[in-house]
Amino acid sequence: MTAAPSPRCDRIAELTTDQLRARLPEALQVYVTAMGYPPSTAQQRAPMWSAHMLRAGWRCIGAFSEQDELIGIGYGYLGAPGQWWHEQVRRGLMTSEVAIGDWMDDYFELTELHVHPAAQGGGLGESILRRLLTGAPGSKVLLSTPEGPTRAWKLYRRVGFTDVLRNYRFTGDPRPFAVLGRPLPLEPR
């Protein structure tokens, strides 16, 4: 028995809110599979992703296979006071040595970036990231990612993200996370 070939990326495109809404179940399946979450997580996340689409500065990039299947997704928006993630990170920074204003003003929150495991390892995540951040609003970008040696960590370090907050525990998740950031725009490859 031979393994199924990895899906090749045929195109990377910016998605409108209507386009993502139409493909939301598919996008959430990529997310759940990439993160190793139980399938029920998709139903829990759907309302949150839909609400994010309404935020200022929202933009989304999708990667598609030759069969027009979504194999990668990334989106984000302008972070602002009152948003859950913003308030969580602000709380964490209050106990750190980092000046809150250095990071929490005028930033693009990279909310989600996922590549289906069968399509990982070929630079697709970086392509989605670069396309998403090209022209993103804000003077800097922030993200959170679980601590640990992963492909995501290598990608973020490779494109110049630095530590903002380490080993932080978000409310409702026992895992330690890192908050990483960097100025915008990204340098060309």
CATH number, domain with residue 84? 3.40.630.30
Give the chain's mean pLDDT.
94
Residue 4's pLDDT is: 62
Residue bearing the bigger pLDDT, 3 or 172: 172
Residue 71 lies in a domain: yes
| 156 classed as catalytic | yes
Residue 3 lies in a domain: no
Residues 18-29 have a mean pLDDT of 98
Residue 40 lies in a domain: yes
Residue 189's pLDDT is: 81
Residue 67's pLDDT is: 95
Residue bearing the bigger pLDDT, 188 or 73: 73
Please answer whether residues 155 and 114 qualify as being in contact, where contact means their C-beta atoms are separated by less than 8 angstroms.
no
Segments forming the whole domain that contains residue 104: 9-183
Residues 138-164 have a mean pLDDT of 95
| Rounded distance between C-alpha atoms, residue 166 and residue 95, angstroms | 12
pLDDT digit string, tens, across residues 96-150:
877 888 899 999 999 999 999 999 999 999 999 999 999 999 999 999 999 988 9
Domain count, the chain: 1
| Rounded distance between C-alpha atoms, residue 40 and residue 174, angstroms | 19
Task: Kindly tell me if the per-residue pLDDT of 6 is higher than 80.
Answer: no
Residue corresponding to tokens 């409108």: 16
Catalytic residue among 77, 107, 156, 168: 156
Residue 2 lies in a domain: no
Residue 4 lies in a domain: no
Residue 147 lies in a domain: yes
